[in-house]
Structure 1
Amino acid sequence: MGAIRPGTRRHSITMLTSSGKPFIAVSFNYRLSAWGFLSSQEVVDSGNTNIGLRDQRLALQWVQENIAAFGGDPAKVTIWGESAGGMSVGYHLTAYGGRDDGLFRGAIMQSGGSISVSPASYTVFQGSYDDLVSKVQCSDDEDTLQCLRDVPFETLNAALNGTGGSPNYRFAPVVDGDFIPDRGSVLLKKHRYVKVPIIAGTNTDEGTAFGPFGINTTEQFYEYLTDAKYGGTTKLPHPVAKRILQLYPDDPSQGIPEYLGSERVPSMGYQWRRTSAYAGDVMMHANRRRQCEAWTETSTPAYCYRFNVHAADVPLLMGATHFEEVAFVFNNIEGLGYHGGKPFDGTPESYKQLSKLMASMWASFIHDLDPNSGIKNSPVHWDPYGRRKPVDLLFDANVTSHMEPDTWRKKGMDYINSRADVYGR
């Protein structure tokens, strides 16, 4: 799962396998922050890039060697993740240029995929590396990387972690010419990925979790795009930023969440709904759409979805935001592991029925590579994405879940994907 944290009851496989499609779940930890993703020229030269992803790869190899002893079949492995976990799955699909090491036969990516929002080049993190080296008094060493290795854990950990629980450094996966040989968009365009069936999807209002706050004017939105102000992370060329302003106009009815109609939310920023729509597309939706398109180009099955339900554990204003589908996929009706509100509290029976449907579809895909194989007495059928007929399964509890054309905010997402180079992905 994304944002790896201590164990939680939120992700109970027992509830997920109640549909009659049993499987064995294997979870594992991997190194995070600088421990797993330290990047610089020195790290590249040493061949120790993207260690966190290599940890994951080693775990997948362990499964191949040992799962039979637990009653599992090494030939029937599905890798699965959400958010950072979904991105990790995407990296394994394109690892070493799509080299198939026989580690898995299917993949599930929830709100994450092969086109990552991470910087493409290690050079982005050189300054952070140099600053860290200086902070722990390694600057004068001829081999600064070895010096970092020799620094006591407590000293290095204190340097990495800021006050209030926020990290001082935000290292992330980078293109290294090895595990990640190129930008994700390039690898998908060249079809350099493992050709296995996938489930890939996002939540309608992802952007309420990722968009900036406090943007009240178009001028401020422009500064967010071009100068990385207001929490922006990418400095776009001015012509690209101007086109984004056109494709994401100052019209709240085109923003998110949709249920607000033409209403604005001044407390979040007069243009919050506008900037949130853009943020969701650039962080999640455009990437997911391109992933599904790429799979159809090699006639590889892709089951794509859009989750469109506001659960009870987050404020209504957030809509169907990031992570909200997880409780439904795991059929966690009781809200085990949730403490600040439970997803199904006070919701109608249709929410529980949707959860049952989604859990059955995920289990069926893991078991049979077909999400429809275990579905009984339901009008819902999940069609694969088509090159001539691109479709998502819209998961909804207020209306019957159904297939929809994958054309929503098409112009904006198409443009974002066409300029993957300036986004560095």
Structure 2
Amino acid sequence: MLPLVVLAIATLKFCAVSAAPTSRATGPTVTLDNATFIGVSAGTVSKFLGIPFAQPPVGNLRFQLPQSLPAYNGTYSAIAFGPSCPQQAINLPLPSGLAANATDFIVNSIYNAVTPASEDCLTLNVVVPASTTPSSKLPVVVWIFGGGFELGGTSIYDGGVIVQRSIDLGEPVIYVSMNYRVSAFGFLASQEVKSAGVGNIGLQDQRLALRWVQQYIGNFGGDSTKVTIWGESAGAISVALQMLTNGGNAEGLFRAAFMESGSPIPVGDISHGQPYYDALVSETGCSGASDTLQCLRQVPYAQLMAAVDQSPGIFSYQSLVLAWVPRVDGVFLTDTPQNLVLQGSVANVSIVSGDCDDEGTLFSLSTLNVTTDAQIQQYLNTIYMPLASSTEIETLLTYYPADITQGSPFDTGILNALTPEFKRLAAIQGDLVFQAPRRFFLQQRSGLQPIWSFLNKRLKSLPALGSAHATDILNVYAGGDMTSYLVEFVNNLNPNGVGINWPAYTTASPQLLTFLDRLIPLVITQDTYRAQGISYLTTLSLKYPL
């Protein structure tokens, strides 16, 4: 269920090779255990890239929980990003007639493959101000990338932008990013997986990386008691789920959470992935095995990857109903994420959480053959809510009418209606997976912990897509105004200190910092739009998790 459009915005390129022993002794260095890691200087920042934080999840460690490494020894080159974890293939046929700039956004973001990829991929990166010493005790921001839990990696994100802004503001931070397993490699789902206790492996990878930060970030000059976890899309959902696991006990791993387009999502039991698991077993010749999970561990990588690529992806007809996604496994997630929120299983940390205005447009390009009222009813009842009654679907559609002036991209009148139902379905999908879960989460936690929320309405003029999913990431990694708010939040547990005042979010006063493409680029608005529709979607998602 959730995606990030992988944006090619990195400005610093390195060949993708994991940190490995070396005899070279130039560049900034850091000592971890009995090893020296040699990084690379980039102006006023130093980068240590491709540091392994877990044993390679290959061979019999495939589809296993991540395993810690023994103590480091020797000398390592840390000047290049490690390979990304195996990436699920993307298949998004572009509709004819789509405007050139919208096509450019899609091709240069979604199709920007994160390569090379390898099963041996569990590495992380640390970026620090060049003047940092082990006694600096700087706050730390840990980035978790998005990509629909199907793809993504760390190499396209230039953490130096974040660190440089923090230096410029006089509030320096340390930046960390980690790879984690995605697609079937990280989120294999079935009863077999649940019985073996190896569900949500990608989230477990993230958790181990956070423990690595606790153990080693002091060597880089960081303060392990001042860690903020931050992500976008699947990364933001991951941040939310890290808050919900373990009864809400953060184990001291982080003190704050910053989420862009992702909240506790309406997903159900891990057995909901059984059809995809069974297809994988069949396509790899493991159907006759007494232990199909063990058989999958022994399948040659190329053969397994080809089978995984046959799974429905985020740009398939079923869109945000993903094959490989975090689900209730009884270990990392003991109940549905939204039920855990209701139970109070939430880490008591400071929160920033927000969305883009048109979250659903990108994921409605694969359903342009849904063109009538009857077809959209069938689509919702078949794909999203097969257990819902026809009356419930009809009621939902009264809140999201066929009137194209009320659809997404919102506030664009009769424009962008690729089909009679495109804007309607885009509104429903964006609200169901992004807006409704965020509003539900924040309303449940209002008054219990510090909360700030935002809405990104920039790039509204992008044809067909509007303020689409992932457009807000430019506000951060391209050095936009959100970068400063992020740095303030990491330092002070409050995003204020730059720009206009960002009021806290409460149920009584649900205020949003809203980013606009106007002469006045920042305003405060209210989180009350589409109140009835979003409320009804929340009711349905609690009743019928995906």
Please state which band the TM-score falls in when normalised by the shorter chain: 0.7 to 0.9
1:188 maps to which residue? 341
Figure out how many residues of one structure are paired with residues of the other and give that number: 388
Indicate which of 387, 394, 403 corresponds to 1:242: 394
What one-letter code is carried by the residue in structure 2 that aligns with 1:221? Answer: I
Is the CA contact 1:296–1:385 (under 8 Å) kept in the aligned structure 2?
yes
1:257 maps to which residue? 409
Tell me by how many angstroms 1:15 deviates: 4.6
Tell me by how many angstroms 1:127 deviates: 2.0
1:217 maps to which residue? 372
Instruction: Give the Cα–Cα distance (whole angstroms) in 2 for the partners of residues 279 and 202 of structure 1.
Output: 13
Q: What is the root-mean-square deviation of aligned Cα atoms in Å?
A: 2.3
87-96 vs 391-400, greater mean Cα deviation? 391-400
Is the CA contact 1:205–1:321 (under 8 Å) kept in the aligned structure 2?
yes
Q: Cα 1:59–1:320, aligned 2, differ >3 Å: closer, same or farther? A: same
Instruction: Give the Cα–Cα distance (whole angstroms) in 1 for the partners of residues 195 and 352 of structure 2.
Output: 36
* 1:155-194 map, 5 Å: 155-162=303-310, 170-194=323-347
Indicate which of 205, 217, 225 corresponds to 1:55: 205
1:343 maps to which residue? none
More helix by share: 1
Q: Cα 1:401–1:197, aligned 2, differ >3 Å: closer, same or farther? A: same
Q: Cα 1:165–1:381, aligned 2, differ >3 Å: closer, same or farther? A: closer
Tell me by how many angstroms 1:24 deviates: 0.6
Q: Cα 1:325–1:30, aligned 2, differ >3 Å: closer, same or farther? A: same
Tell me by how many angstroms 1:221 deviates: 1.4
**Bigger relative contact order, structure 1 or 2 (CA pairs below 8 A, ≥6 apart):** 1
Instruction: Give the Cα–Cα distance (whole angstroms) in 1 for the partners of residues 246 and 309 of structure 2.
Output: 32
2:242 maps to which residue? 92
Question: Does residue 135 of structure 1 match 2:259?
Answer: no
1:2 maps to which residue? 146
More strand by share: 2
Question: Does residue 397 of structure 1 match 2:517?
Answer: yes
What one-letter code is carried by the residue in structure 1 that aligns with 2:453? Answer: C
Instruction: Give the Cα–Cα distance (whole angstroms) in 2 for the partners of residues 400 and 132 of structure 1.
Output: 48
Is the CA contact 2:163–2:172 (under 8 Å) kept in the aligned structure 1?
no
Structure 1 spans left out of the alignment, 5+ residues: 333-354
Question: Does residue 326 of structure 1 match 2:476?
Answer: no
Q: Cα 1:214–1:166, aligned 2, differ >3 Å: closer, same or farther? A: closer
Tell me by how many angstroms 1:137 deviates: 2.0
Question: Does residue 152 of structure 1 match 2:300?
Answer: yes
Indicate which of 486, 495, 502 corresponds to 1:371: 495
Is the CA contact 1:204–1:308 (under 8 Å) kept in the aligned structure 2?
yes
Tell me by how many angstroms 1:324 deviates: 0.6
Tell me by how many angstroms 1:57 deviates: 0.3
Instruction: Give the Cα–Cα distance (whole angstroms) in 2 for the partners of residues 10 and 214 of structure 1.
Output: 39
1:317 maps to which residue? 464
Tell me by how many angstroms 1:167 deviates: 10
SS in 2 for 1:194: coil
Instruction: Give the Cα–Cα distance (whole angstroms) in 1 for the partners of residues 464 and 511 of structure 2.
Output: 27
Deviation above 6 Å: which 4+ runs of structure 1? 163-169
Tell me by how many angstroms 1:163 deviates: 10
Instruction: Give the Cα–Cα distance (whole angstroms) in 2 for the partners of residues 389 and 412 of structure 1.
Output: 20
Q: Cα 1:359–1:98, aligned 2, differ >3 Å: closer, same or farther? A: same
Q: Cα 1:165–1:7, aligned 2, differ >3 Å: closer, same or farther? A: farther
Deviations 1:314-372 (A, max 9, x none): x333111111111112344xxxxxxxxxxxxxxxxxxxxxx23x221111001111100
Structure 2 spans left out of the alignment, 5+ residues: 1-144, 317-321
Instruction: Give the Cα–Cα distance (whole angstroms) in 1 for the partners of residues 416 and 442 of structure 2.
Output: 33
* 1:191-202 map, 5 Å: 191-202=344-355
Q: Cα 1:27–1:265, aligned 2, differ >3 Å: closer, same or farther? A: closer
2:172 maps to which residue? 22
Instruction: Give the Cα–Cα distance (whole angstroms) in 2 for the partners of residues 264 and 187 of structure 1.
Output: 40
2:61 maps to which residue? none
What one-letter code is carried by the residue in structure 2 that aligns with 1:372? Answer: N
Is the CA contact 1:308–1:320 (under 8 Å) kept in the aligned structure 2?
yes
Instruction: Give the Cα–Cα distance (whole angstroms) in 1 for the partners of residues 510 and 182 of structure 2.
Output: 36
The share of aligned pairs that are identical, in percent, is 35
SS in 2 for 1:69: helix
Instruction: Give the Cα–Cα distance (whole angstroms) in 2 for the partners of residues 256 and 166 of structure 1.
Output: 19
Q: Cα 1:113–1:367, aligned 2, differ >3 Å: closer, same or farther? A: same
Indicate which of 96, 104, 112 corresponds to 2:254: 104
134-143 vs 100-109, greater mean Cα deviation? 134-143
Indicate which of 292, 303, 306 corresponds to 2:452: 303
2:508 maps to which residue? 388
SS in 2 for 1:199: strand
Q: Cα 1:167–1:259, aligned 2, differ >3 Å: closer, same or farther? A: closer
Q: Cα 1:166–1:217, aligned 2, differ >3 Å: closer, same or farther? A: closer
53-62 vs 171-180, greater mean Cα deviation? 171-180
SS in 1 for 2:174: coil
What one-letter code is carried by the residue in structure 2 that aligns with 1:145? Answer: L
Instruction: Give the Cα–Cα distance (whole angstroms) in 2 for the partners of residues 240 and 233 of structure 1.
Output: 10
Is the CA contact 2:385–2:544 (under 8 Å) kept in the aligned structure 1?
no
Tell me by how many angstroms 1:385 deviates: 0.8
Is the CA contact 1:10–1:327 (under 8 Å) kept in the aligned structure 2?
no
Indicate which of 284, 292, 298 corresponds to 2:442: 292
TM-score w.r.t. structure 1 length? 0.85
SS in 2 for 1:282: helix
